[in-house]
């Protein structure tokens, strides 16, 4: 995700536009890898396991494929992946917390492989979800699909956020307004630096052919803002509310989005 948070404050690169089949193949390789690692981490997570142990499992999978953790490489983040639990929205630092039945967990996996970056994430519940957990996860997944449906060459960037906000309202949810999607490709964060995850009438940019971006709606049961925690990394939601996020890296084409982060 991209935010005003210092994690992304000084590392913005120019936008990547696919020029060759080799570039597309490179993005597909790293995209498939981070998607497989995300899926494996979700299946590996179990009550009693620390988030550090889960992160170390993800690290091994990345390193076995010859990839490097993108947040660690780019920002010296203290973990290979971001693992956020319950009231934590994003950038959760893996540590001593032991997962429990009923936890709402978000795992964000981004990596560099052969000079290309892929970025994906997803939320899941350990055990049987509550009604609120189910609603926020279903709504965030639906928002991602609605946003993907807006992607095509020449389409207004505003359409992505508008689709997310419409979906959020339909599910009785709020958009987290200071977290958004971003460009990616040759670096973890590229132009466009902030793709709003809500309907922003000031947004005038358009998508172009071959552009590489993420889409990652953050939907909450009530909070509209992410707040800094005490560790300098973790972002928290509003007290009493939970949130979910799902993310794909994609290439913009005339026929719609070409997803990179599929297993």
Per-residue confidence at 7, pLDDT binned at 50, 70, 90? very low
Nearest in space to 122 (alpha carbons), one of 212, 37, 63, 195: 37
Residue 15 has pLDDT above 90, yes or no: no
My answer on whether omega of the bond before 192 falls inside 30° of 0, hence cis, is yes
Mean pLDDT, to the nearest integer, of 70-79? 97
Q: Do 107 and 78 contact (CB within 8 A), yes or no? A: no
Annotated ligand binding at 216? The verdict is: yes
Helices (H), the chain: 21-44, 51-64, 70-75, 131-148, 158-170
Question: What does the radius of gyration of the chain's CA atoms come to, in whole angstroms?
Answer: 17
Q: Do 44 and 107 contact (CB within 8 A), yes or no? A: no
Residue 194 has pLDDT above 90, yes or no: yes
Annotated ligand binding at 247? The verdict is: yes
Q: What is the pTM of this model?
A: 0.94
Structure tokens at 169: 């309202």
**In residues, how long is the chain?**
263
- List 156's β-bridge partners, or say none: 206
Mean pLDDT, to the nearest integer, of 204-217? 97
Annotated ligand binding at 182? The verdict is: yes
Mean pLDDT, to the nearest integer, of 218-229? 96
Q: What is the pLDDT of residue 14?
A: 75
| DSSP codes joined into one string, 89-158 | EE-PPP-SPBP-TT-EEEEEEEEEETTEEEEEEEEEESSSPPHHHHHHHHHHHHHHHHHHTT-STT-BTH
Per-residue confidence at 12, pLDDT binned at 50, 70, 90? low
Mean pLDDT, to the nearest integer, of 89-93? 97
Domains of the chain as residue ranges with CATH: 2-259 (3.90.230.10)
Annotated ligand binding at 91? The verdict is: yes
Which residues, at least 6 apart from 146, have a Cβ–Cβ distance to it below 8 Å? 163, 164, 166, 167
């Amino acid at each position: 995700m991209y935010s005003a948070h210092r994690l992304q404050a000084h590392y913005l690169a120019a936008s990547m536009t696919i020029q060759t089949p080799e570039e597309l193949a490179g993005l597909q390789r790293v995209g498939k890898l981070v998607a497989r690692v995300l899926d494996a981490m979700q299946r590996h997570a179990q009550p009693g396991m620390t988030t550090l142990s889960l992160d170390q499992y993800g690290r091994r999978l990345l390193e076995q494929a010859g990839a490097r953790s993108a947040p660690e490489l780019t920002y010296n983040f203290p973990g290979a992946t971001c693992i956020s639990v319950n009231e934590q929205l994003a950038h959760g630092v893996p540590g001593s917390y032991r997962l429990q039945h009923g936890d709402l967990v978000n795992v964000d996996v981004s990596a560099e492989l052969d000079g290309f970056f892929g970025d994906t994430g997803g939320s899941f519940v350990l055990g049987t979800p509550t009604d609120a957990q189910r609603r926020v996860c279903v709504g965030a997944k639906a928002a991602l699909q609605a946003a993907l449906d807006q992607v095509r060459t020449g389409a207004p960037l505003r359409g992505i956020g508008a689709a997310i906000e419409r979906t959020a309202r339909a599910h009785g949810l709020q958009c987290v307004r200071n977290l958004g999607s971003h460009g990616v490709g040759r670096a973890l964060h590229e132009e466009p630096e902030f793709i709003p995850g809500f309907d922003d009438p000031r947004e005038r940019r358009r998508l172009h052919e071959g552009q590489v971006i993420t889409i990652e709606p953050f939907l909450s049961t009530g909070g509209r803002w992410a707040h800094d925690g005490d560790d300098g990394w973790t972002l928290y939601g509003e007290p009493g509310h939970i949130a979910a996020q799902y993310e794909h890296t994609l290439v913009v084409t005339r026929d719609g989005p070409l997803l990179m982060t599929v297993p």
